[in-house]
Structure 1
Amino acid sequence: MDELDRNILGLLGADARMSVATLARRLKVARSTIQARLERLETSGIIAGYTLKLGESAKQGRLRASVLLSIEPRAQAGVLQRLKSISEVEKVFTTSGRFDLLMQIACANTQVLDQVLDQIGQMTGVKSSESLIHLSTRIDRAV
């Protein structure tokens, strides 16, 4: 990846709907150059897809929480398989430190969150959990 590739990714990160012609104009290169670069970035897996990013008004009414899980040794595969079946679980990350997994959960309300946390806590292999409810987003640079 060179500077042009990084500039393309930066512009698309801000607006994934930007046309090839607009990208070419802003970056002062030929349209065919942008098209070739996009195809290479897609083929190599650097660009995995194009999506939309919801604004805060669309996220209203969704309660978000981060949940830290400690799990039994060698239980991770089974726990992850069961977490996949819970629609409120948006993301799961492996971590270093005293917790094994970090999850991002989104629920309609506190009652649903409570049910989801109970469901996770009862899973075979889960030793303990700690939940952090998201109050407001102060910085969001995620692409």
Structure 2
Amino acid sequence: MDELDRNILALLGADARMSVATLARRLKVARSTVQARLERLESTGVIAGYTLKLGEAARQGRLRASVLLTIEPRAQAGILTRLKSISEVEKVFTTSGRFDLLLQIAAPNTQVLDQVLDQIGALTGVNSSESLIHLSTRIDRAI
């Protein structure tokens, strides 16, 4: 990736609906250059897709939490299979350090969140969990 690729990604990160013509105008390059770059970025997997990023207004009414799990050795595959069946689990990351997995979950209210946390804690192979409730977003640079 070169500077032009990074600039294309930055502009699309701010507005994924930006047209190829607008991208070309802003970057002061030919439309065909931007089109070729986009096709290459897509085919190489740098751009996996174009998506919608919800703002705070759309996320209101959703209680979010991060859950840190310590699991038994070699239990990860089975735990991941069971976590896939819990609709409130949005993302699961492997981590380094004292925790093995980091879960991002969202629930409509505290009762559902409590049930989900109990369900996760009861999974075979989960040794311990720690939950962090998200209160407000101060910085969000995710693309």
Q: Same fold (TM over 0.5)?
A: yes
Matching residue of 1:82: 82
Name structure 1 gaps, 5 residues minimum: none
Which whole-Å CA distance do the structure 2 matches of 1:131 and 1:96 have between them? 17
Q: Considering only aligned residues, what root-mean-square deviation do their CA atoms show, in Å?
A: 0.4
Matching residue of 1:68: 68
What is the SS of the residue equivalent to 1:105?
strand
Name structure 2 gaps, 5 residues minimum: none
Which whole-Å CA distance do the structure 2 matches of 1:66 and 1:135 have between them? 11
Query: 1:18-60 CA distances to partner (integer Å, 9 max, x unpaired)?
Result: 0000000000000000000000000000000000100000000
| % identical equivalent positions | 88
What is the SS of the residue equivalent to 1:116?
helix
Matching residue of 2:42: 42
What is the SS of the residue equivalent to 2:106?
strand
Which whole-Å CA distance do the structure 2 matches of 1:40 and 1:109 have between them? 43
Matched to 1:123, the amino acid is L
Which whole-Å CA distance do the structure 2 matches of 1:25 and 1:86 have between them? 45
Provide runs of 4+ in structure 1 moved above 2 Å: none
Query: Matched residue pairs, number?
Result: 143
Matching residue of 2:141: 141
